[in-house]
Chain A
Amino acid sequence: DTGVSQDPRHKITKRGQNVTFRCDPISEHNRLYWYRQTLGQGPEFLTYFQNEAQLEKSRLLSDRFSAERPKGSFSTLEIQRTEQGDSAMYLCASSLVGSSSHEQYFGPGTRLTVT
């Protein structure tokens, strides 16, 4: 069990560019979540997958955002035509359906800076 990993850890991009982040959950976890955390605030839910199915998306997730989990393992989050307001920490978490602890295990995050 190597924990949840995210890549890259930091990304600086110019406004208007597209970026893609990757999340590798704990291997046996079937749920995967994306959150966004801006400075001084708590994480805000963006979307989640159960296996490969995307079951819920927040209204925060505009049309410029898309997430996939093609084989029910790793997930990608793509932001098209980035805006300065997209600058934030993007957190990935995973969990196991039926776990008695209901704990979500978080990755280290990808910090996005849009210039």
Chain B
Amino acid sequence: AQTVTQSQPEMSVQEAETVTLSCTYDTSESNYYLFWYKQPPSRQMILVIRQEAYKQQNATENRFSVNFQKAAKSFSLKISDSQLGDTAMYFCAFMKQSGAGKSTFGDGTTLTVKP
């Protein structure tokens, strides 16, 4: 079974600064996908960024980037130029390539961006 651990229950950052959210996972699978999802207060979860395990290059999406360390089973999310709208709960998720799409989630990190 896979496990996903987010060791930072809460974080805060000043607007326009950079913040990094941590995620580690445990699996015996070789082929898998990793995701960061954002869940704003009282709103639905949306995908922020994804990474295929077979790709060495770290994924980037505008202000969001990841640091994927496969050997260390680490998958951190960096948010640059933080904006007030980034305030949300962030979940790291793991999906086996052969797993029919079901995901295993961490317990989340609540990020607050302060003006």
A-to-B contact residues, CB < 8 Å: 3-4, 31, 33, 40-45, 48, 50, 55-56, 91, 95, 97, 101-104, 106-109
CB of A103 within 8 A of CB of B47, answer yes
Interface size class of B (residues with CB under 8 A): 20 to 34
Of A48, A104, A108, most B-chain CB atoms within 10 Å:
A104
Q: Known contacts A42-B108, A106-B44, A108-B44; decide if A101 and B101 are in contact (CB<8 Å).
A: no
- The B4-34 residues at the A interface (CB cut-off 8 A) are 4, 6, 9, 33
Known: A42-B91, A102-B33. 6 other contacts (CB 8 A): A31-B100, A33-B101, A40-B9, A48-B100, A48-B101, A50-B100
Complex formed: what's the CA distance from A91 to B89 in Å?
Answer: 15
Of A40, A42, A50, A108, most B-chain CB atoms within 10 Å:
A42
In the complex, B102 has a CB within 8 A of chain A:
yes
Q: Which chain A residue has the least Cβ–Cβ distance from B44?
A: A108
- The B74-92 residues at the A interface (CB cut-off 8 A) are 91
- The B87-113 residues at the A interface (CB cut-off 8 A) are 91, 93, 95, 100-108
CB of A41 within 8 A of CB of B107, answer yes
CB of A33 within 8 A of CB of B102, answer yes
CB of B91 within 8 A of CB of A108, answer no
Q: Known contacts A42-B4, A103-B47, A108-B43; decide if A31 and B103 are in contact (CB<8 Å).
A: no
**Which chain B positions have C-beta within 8 A of A48?**
100-102
CB of B103 within 8 A of CB of A104, answer yes
